[in-house]
Amino acid sequence: MAATPAADSLSGTFQQVTDFGTNPGNLAMYSYVPAGLPSGAPLVVALHGCIQSAGDYYRNSGWTKYADLYGFAVVFPQTGSANNSLSCFSWFDANKDGRGTGEAKSVVEMVAKAETLYGSDGRRVFVTGLSAGGGMAADLLADYPDVFAGGAIDSGLPAHCATAQSAASGCQNSDQHLTPAQWGDKVRRAYPGWTGPWPRVAIWQGSADTTVRPVNATELRDQWTNVWGVSQTASASHSLPGGTTQTVYNDAGGRPAVALYSIAGMGHGLAVSPGSGTDQCGATGSYFLNTVCSSYYTAQFWGLDDGLPPAPGLPAPTGLTATAAADSIALAWQPVTGSSSYEVYRGGTRLAGVTGTAFTDTGLAAGTTYAYTVAAVDSAGTVGARSATVTASTGGSTPQCFTDNNYNQVKAGRATQSVGLTYALGSGQAMGLWNLLTVHTLKQTGPGYFVLADGQC
């Protein structure tokens, strides 16, 4: 293995691994291995999105935090401009994303190398990816159900939706009008004769995604519930932080086989939630959006937290509300039995400790949105689980909206551009091509912070 410089790691090492196979897909292999990782630990493969690298995903996705916490290695495959002008994984190319071919085979060769190097448990190998990486993750789950026990598709595409690049945009933007059985057949044809078991699949999608439209999440749900032979009617539904709704589809034994996580108002990207809480992870940036820690909930869905002792402390407070005024926000919540005090967090950072079930945050900027959570503290001083996040916007000024083409939005300092693409300043939401023809409305919700608001202003 040849070591390369990387961002600060947690307990282990991020490095490049060479000589992992024939590598027909011309990919690079990077890995993160926690210090002292024993043989027999799980393995996660994490695929970056377009105009990203393995290093970006290592630094921002949050997977290394749970590698240390739960005990598993992470492989970060990397493609580049030699394969695709935007460094996208080729989820849309039948010569690169099928069993035994191209990039798909290179990823599986990385898995074999990791199993040899780190003693990873071949029965507990999982794959996840963002956008084009999500599309490739879906393809890999279909191509190699004998390799992957589970997967997660973040803002991605159904398995084998397109077989040529010319059809990619149609998959991203349009309903393909296929039945669940037709979607399921695309999976079954990827490895003919396979009789199971099938991977357990988590699907993450922002409701305001204009790059990979939310219909893709519905199609993924239809595809994998059909493969599992279960109903498209949900078995259960739960509310999670960040405006996230988890809808679960159980197998015949009552275990979740497919889970759909829909994030209200989120654009195109990977859901992260920076902070020190167990359920917080990652760092924000282009295509890394501050909503909820998807890596935490995905790891739980796969069962990577099995065997851990129960989390210490009291349960999370419920009923948290936030009432805004011109320069303050009043919080209130339901009491937790056994608590001696409460910790209040703003934006994931501790703000105050209080003995009652109310707190007012004062001296705030006008016309700005703030996010809060609270946690109960027991008599021993142990801080319990954090509540669901609530947000509120101070008054004093009305958030201003700006409708213009992407070129002018960048010129006015409300957006940035990279590699011909445009992103809202602050939120990092994708706005499409940097030109005079693509028009969006941006709403300023705080100093230097803009969000997509098409049709909302």
Name the residue with tokens 């010129």: 411
Q: In 3D, which of 198, 194, 59, 181 has the Cα closest to residue 138?
A: 198
Residue type, 156: G
Q: How would you class 404 by CB atoms within 10 Å of its CB: exposed for 0-12, middle for 13-18, buried for 19 or more?
A: middle
Residues with a known catalytic role: 131
DSSP string, 390-404: EEEE--SSPPPEEEE
For residue 303, the tally of other CB atoms under 10 A from its CB is 17
- Of the CA atoms within 13 Å of residue 154, those in its CB half-sphere come to 28
- Give the per-residue SS3 of 191-241: CCCCCCCCCEEEEEEECCCCCCCCHHHHHHHHHHHHHHCCCCCCCEEEEEC
- Torsion angle, CA of 329/334/335/341, rounded to 10 degrees? -20
State which amino acid sits at residue 419. Answer: V
The CB density around residue 319, as the number of other CB atoms within 10 Å, is 12
